[in-house]
Amino acid sequence: MTGVPKPKSDLGPRAVVGAILIAIAAAALWSGGFFYWLLLVVVGLLMLAEWCGLARATRGETRLAQFALSVPLAIMSPLAAGASFFALGLLAGAGFFIAIITRSGRIAAGAIYVGLPLLALVTIRAMDAGLLLAFWTMALVWACDIGAYAAGRSFGGAKLAPSISPNKTWSGLIGGMVAATIFAFALTRWGLPLYLVVATPLLAVSAQMGDLYESGLKRRAGVKDSGNMLPGHGGFLDRLDGLVPVAPLAALLILVHQAFL
């Protein structure tokens, strides 16, 4: 009697896609400038399309939202105004425009959800020591994800939010905080300020809250992944949900600290 075939593992495609994504992100982060901005724009517009899918927007509403968001994203270019209050104002304006035309606050919220972290990442990379600061901002999320996965698998225990994401545990939350903090402390060797190391555990918590928020969006929409553009990973929202809250908080923290130096 022939047994039931086992589901095909996605580990191979997942590893390949993950390696490609890391290589592209590292190259853009290192180069900064136009290439860095362009990658953020492309990813941002794809994230907004996935958000609109979760919000059950029509194709026309999705295209309108992407067009509206492209205006502040264009201003963020190093060939234009770059990271500025002008870009922030245009981002808010894009949200209002989308809400008025589509009559959907959810679609408008997607433009802010995507645009604000992109503005934050452009802002951080343009700072003095921007390469280090932007790397810390992005990589602490990756370290948190790895630590949370390892701790959750190793220790299990009480569920963090079973009604939203049944696989997440309190041990995973703590493991993610520890891993991100150890990573940040290691970066002090290359000049990462100590106050950012101290703030890292809180940012790790915000990363996991961002993950939970996106899980709630998917549960509400009745889907497993936000998209299928990344084999083995789902969509761009799935991969970057933790970075969405971390980037604005990191930029705000650095700017406030610099203002009071």
pTM over 0.85: yes
The verdict on 165 and 247 lying in the same domain is yes
Give me the amino acid identity at 19: A
**Distance from C-alpha of 43 to C-alpha of 26, rounded to nearest angstrom:** 14
Q: What percent of the chain lies above the pLDDT cut of 70? A: 94
The verdict on 134 and 257 lying in the same domain is yes
Give me the amino acid identity at 15: A
The verdict on 30 and 112 lying in the same domain is yes
| Structural domain harbouring 35 | 17-126
The verdict on 45 and 172 lying in the same domain is no
pLDDT in tens, 47-77: 999 999 999 999 999 999 999 999 999 999 9
Report if residue 6 sits inside a domain. Answer: no
pLDDT in tens, 198-210: 999 999 999 999 9
User: From the CA atom positions of the chain, what is the Rg in Å?
Assistant: 19
Helix 11-31 with 33-54: angle, nearest 10 deg: 140
Number of domains in the chain: 2
Domain end marker among 68, 100, 126:
126
pLDDT at 251 > cutoff 80: yes
- Tell the residue number behind the tokens 């994401």, with chain if given: 165
The one-character DSSP state at 234 is B
